Amino acid sequence: MGPAAGTAHLDVQGLTVAFGPILAVKNVSLTVREGETLAVFGANGSGKTTFLKGIAGLLPLAGGRVVYRGEDLSKLPAHERAARGIRYVSDRSRVAVRMTVRENLDAGAWLLHPSRREAARDRVLSLFPVLGEKAGEPAGVLSGGERQMLILGRALIGEPALLLMDEPFLGLSREVRDRFVAVIERTLKGRATILMSEHDAETAFRLLDRHVIFRNGVVVHEGTRGESGDARSLLALLYRHFRPGEDDSPRDERRLRDVSRNREGK
Ligand code: ATP
């Protein structure tokens, strides 16, 4: 089923997350359809990670509800949300360095029936052949890019229905990034619902159906792929929202310049 034909999969209602007196996400509501890919943009500290973690159950809600397939998950712990097919992955996710690559992958397959695990593992290893070559080695020997492949592979092996990806392309070489995009297109696009926090507008544009822009914990812009037109227009839109101001950090402007340079093929 194509994304446009999908039904409401995730209904976030007035989500609020606080760190002590700081409201990091304030009363955010949005609906994501089944099979849709939503990119979440925003300057550093605008609340993207907090928003995704609130949905995953990794941070407690100060207000609002997370309704998934019609069920209110707001009071459920993260592992029970995971049992319903929700996965959060981040470049800050850890791999178990002393366990083998294969064992790390298997850790993501706990929800699959044991008879299906081997085939699922083989499928993921075929998506990332370099992991296949190192399947019996400790994950500690992997490079940074390979570790990110393992983190994504560990999520994919469990066949997630809702994947929350926090900056999935951060720090990846162009080659690994392209591989990630291809894997996501091949295995997830239109099948799983994806929320993807990202700074790299060009790469995100290859995958997104819709986007939102966060600023200071609220959504300040929502748009569809068609409304953006192309990656360049989306980048221009982000520049307008991220333009220097008291709430923007220099790091973020640098990142956007990097995106621009990548786009020019440098
Ligand atoms: P980045 O792009 O840098 O990852 P972000 O948009 O994901 O940023 P968050 O990490 O969600 O932003 O942070 C939102 C706000 O919450 C920021 O003001 C941040 O300083 C604050 N914050 C995040 N985590 C904590 C924490 N553990 N304790 C206190 N404040 C926090």
Q: Is the pLDDT of residue 141 over 80?
A: yes
CB 76 within 8 A of CB 216: no
Instruction: Tell me how far the alpha carbon of residue 241 lies from the centroid of ligand 1, in angstroms.
Output: 18
Class of domain 3-85+160-263: alpha beta
Alpha helices in 169-266 (DSSP H): 174-187, 201-205, 225-228, 231-242, 250-263
> Where residue 10 falls among pLDDT bands split at 50, 70, 90?
very high
Report percent pLDDT > 70 for the chain. 88
Q: Which residues pair with 192 in a beta bridge?
A: 189
* Residues with Cβ within 8 Å of residue 10, at least 6 apart in sequence: 31, 32, 55, 66, 67, 68, 162, 193, 195
Instruction: Tell me how far the alpha carbon of residue 167 lies from the centroid of ligand 1, in angstroms.
Output: 13
> Where residue 53 falls among pLDDT bands split at 50, 70, 90?
very high
- HSE-CB at 90 with a 13 A cutoff on CA atoms is 13
Instruction: Tell me how far the alpha carbon of residue 151 lies from the centroid of ligand 1, in angstroms.
Output: 22
> Where residue 227 falls among pLDDT bands split at 50, 70, 90?
confident
Mutate to test the pocket of ligand 1, among 17, 49, 59 (most ligand atoms within 8 A of CB): 49
Mutate to test the pocket of ligand 1, among 48, 61, 238, 254 (most ligand atoms within 8 A of CB): 48
For the chain, give every domain's residue range: 3-85+160-263
> Where residue 91 falls among pLDDT bands split at 50, 70, 90?
confident
- Ligand 1 atom, smallest distance to 51 CA: 11
Instruction: Write down the pLDDT at residue 262.
Output: 47
* Per-residue pLDDT tens over the stretch 112-140: 888 888 899 999 999 999 999 999 999 99
Quote the tokens at residue 82.
Answer: 């995971």
In one letter, which amino acid is 181? V
CB 18 within 8 A of CB 2: no
Residues with CB under 6 A from ligand 1: 19, 22, 24, 42, 44-50
Q: Which residue has the higher pLDDT, 1 or 243?
A: 243
Q: What is the DSSP string of 74-143?
A: TTS-HHHHHTTTEEEEETT----TTSBHHHHHHHTTTTS-HHHHHHHHHHHHHHSHHHHHTTTSBGGGS-
**Of 194, 130, 139, 186, whose CA–CA distance to 168 is shortest?**
194
Phi/psi at 169 (nearest 5 deg)? -105, 5
